[in-house]
Amino acid sequence: MIKRQSNMDYNQKRERCGQYMEALEEERRKIHVFQRELPLCLDLVNQEVHK
């Protein structure tokens, strides 16, 4: 029972992490359009994506 709960916790965390990564990728695409105007924003998002 404890192992099943641990697997569920791990799967939930992994899913949330994947959703977070997808959101960062989407924001990076949005910022990329304005790369010249927002270079620092693009750098910060890229740093988080590549951690």
pLDDT tens for the chain, 51 residues long, are 556 677 778 889 999 999 999 999 998 888 888 777 778 877 888 888 887
**Residue-level pLDDT at 1:** 52
Tell whether pTM > 0.75.
no
**Residue-level pLDDT at 26:** 93
- Which amino acid does the sequence have at 46? N
**Residue-level pLDDT at 22:** 94
In whole angstroms, what is the distance from residue 9 CA to residue 1 CA?
12
Asked if 35 contacts 42 with a C-beta cutoff of 8 angstroms, the reply is yes
**Residue-level pLDDT at 3:** 62
Encode burial over 6-29: b for 16+ CB neighbours within 10 A, e otherwise: eeeeeeeeeeeeeeeeeebeebbe
